[in-house]
Amino acid sequence: MKDYLFLKKQDKDIYEAVMGEEKREAEGLELIPSENYVSRAVREANGSVLTNKYSEGYPGKRYYGGQEFTDEVENIAIERAKKLFSCKFANVQPLSGAPANVAMYFALLEPGDTVLGMDLSHGGHLTHGHPVTSISKVFRFVRYKMKDTSTGEIDYDELRKTAKKEKPKMMLAGFSAYSRELDYKKIASIAREVGAYSVADMAHIAGLIAGKAVKNPFDYGFDVITTTTHKTLRGPRGGMILTRADKEIAKKIDKAVFPGLQGGPHMNNIAAKAVCFAEALTPAFRKYAKQILKNAKAMEGVFLKKGVRMLGGGTSNHLILLDVYGSLGITGAEAETVLDEVGMTLNKNVIADDTRSPMDPSGIRFGTPAITTRGFKESECKRVAELMLLTLENKDNAKKKKEIHSEIKRMCKKFPVPDKFV
């Protein structure tokens, strides 16, 4: 590989691991819904000399000199982010999704304050106050759930009652394992009623929002959005915090990111975010976002036909949660392992009110962002869903699994990982 000339000469061990990963990504089906393939341009920006520079502070207000180019990079990233998500303020410095959330909590809350967020087994994320996180020792997290796991609908009446009783300072909408859309209007209005901030964590669906394939919480009055940039948005690993309109909130967020939580921003990473935002502003990206949804629907069709239970009864976004234990008698961990053997990478996942343990839960979670980047359309995605079920049905049949693996390798060859999108 031309790209890695110096690495190859200097450090064989790491070079070989990188090459191994490149091959793995090229030859297998990436179905983990939080993963994607970035463009070469994004990788070049991320691997640039900007990694050498300290830029503590914000554009025009830095602690060190030599910022003529870093200021330009950060300002461009901010302007593009604002345009992409229709908001007035953007902080592009968070190192990833989890630190973005930590900074956001400290910006808007006092220790001991209550946050009302989605139940973790119903789709919420670790960073929404799971007991294993440090943040759960600082703030008080209260939960809301789905009313009916066969439709995925949230119990909004219950949510309103809980909000009135618990008096949260923040209402949190966002998920990493939920396949339906939330009613942002209802959540924002309940937040207003009880005097809480409304915050959406759109880490998973940022690309779908940017591509206008799903609703933008800002259109329904949400105050703040936190996100990652490396999932459906198809950028470098990183985070971001957006503020719809309120300058005071935006100021608090800037202070909470730096100096509240972080030191120097990773300017190479911010440059790569800017490149990804420009890609996401193109018509081609809108098409991509819509295709992600169509492809998930095509997979849904297969599971509906075969009567395999999907949490929420199906999908309105990029991901599907299958109750493989309930429907097929195979545990999530076992399903993850067998599917990996035939070249399909996805993850085991707890399902709503799971009776099994998180290390071997009842479900698996997968999605279409990465295979859509490869160019898969509905017919290929339908076949992928069929192959998943075929693999699970033949989990002890080595010959059958070999055939399936060959078919998957052929599909991957036919749809190579692209270098560019614009």
Ligand X SMILES: *Cc1c(COP(=O)(O)O)cnc(C)c1O
CB 228, min distance to ligand X, A: 4
Closer CB to ligand X, residue 78 or residue 95?
A: 95
Closer CB to ligand X, residue 104 or residue 310?
A: 104
- Of 299, 390, 399, 418, the residue nearest 31 (C-alpha): 299
- Of 133, 111, 110, the residue nearest 120 (C-alpha): 133
Q: Report the run of H or E that residue 130 belongs to, with start and end.
A: none
Closer CB to ligand X, residue 34 or residue 295?
A: 34
- Of 347, 109, 194, the residue nearest 186 (C-alpha): 194
CB 415, min distance to ligand X, A: 25
For 182-221, strand residue ranges (E) read 197-201
- Of 381, 181, 213, the residue nearest 295 (C-alpha): 381
Integer CA distances (angstroms), 99 to 210, 240, 381, in order: 22, 9, 34
Distance, CA of 133 to CA of 126 (rounded, Å): 7
For residues 151, 157, 161, 167, the Cα torsion angle rounded to the nearest 10 degrees is 70
Closer CB to ligand X, residue 125 or residue 266?
A: 125
CB 22, min distance to ligand X, A: 22
Give first-to-last CA distance, the chain, whole Å: 23
Phi/psi region, residue 216 (left: phi>0; alpha: psi -120 to 50; beta: rest), is beta
- Of 370, 369, 325, 329, the residue nearest 350 (C-alpha): 325
Q: Catalytic site residue 228?
A: yes
3-state secondary structure of 131: coil
Closer CB to ligand X, residue 100 or residue 411?
A: 100
Q: Catalytic site residue 354?
A: no
CB 302, min distance to ligand X, A: 25
CB 13, min distance to ligand X, A: 26
CB 125, min distance to ligand X, A: 4
Angle at CA of residue 104, ends 87 and 246, nearest 5°: 35
Q: Catalytic site residue 372?
A: no
| Residue from 54, 133, 246, 409 carrying the catalytic annotation | 54
| Residue from 231, 348, 382, 401 carrying the catalytic annotation | 231
Displacement of CA 61 from its chain's centroid (Å): 31
- Of 341, 359, 322, the residue nearest 401 (C-alpha): 341
Closer CB to ligand X, residue 127 or residue 327?
A: 127
Q: Catalytic site residue 80?
A: no
Beta-bridge partner residues of 141: 115
Binding interface with ligand X (CB under 6 A): 34, 96-98, 101, 125, 127, 174-176, 201, 203-204, 228, 239
Closer CB to ligand X, residue 23 or residue 130?
A: 130
- Residue, CB closest to ligand X: 97
3-state secondary structure of 139: coil
| Residue from 237, 286, 356, 395 carrying the catalytic annotation | 237
Distance, CA of 175 to CA of 184 (rounded, Å): 13
| Residue from 30, 74, 119, 201 carrying the catalytic annotation | 201
CB 296, min distance to ligand X, A: 16
Closer CB to ligand X, residue 30 or residue 201?
A: 201
Q: Catalytic site residue 374?
A: no
| Residue from 127, 226, 227, 228 carrying the catalytic annotation | 228
Integer CA distances (angstroms), 403 to 142, 343, 387, 391, 410, in order: 48, 11, 10, 10, 11
CB 210, min distance to ligand X, A: 15
Closer CB to ligand X, residue 211 or residue 367?
A: 367
| Residue from 22, 27, 44, 56 carrying the catalytic annotation | 56
Q: Catalytic site residue 237?
A: yes
CB 229, min distance to ligand X, A: 9
Q: Report the run of H or E that residue 43 belongs to, with start and end.
A: helix 40-46
Distance, CA of 11 to CA of 199 (rounded, Å): 44
Name the residues annotated as catalytic.
54, 56, 201, 228, 231, 237
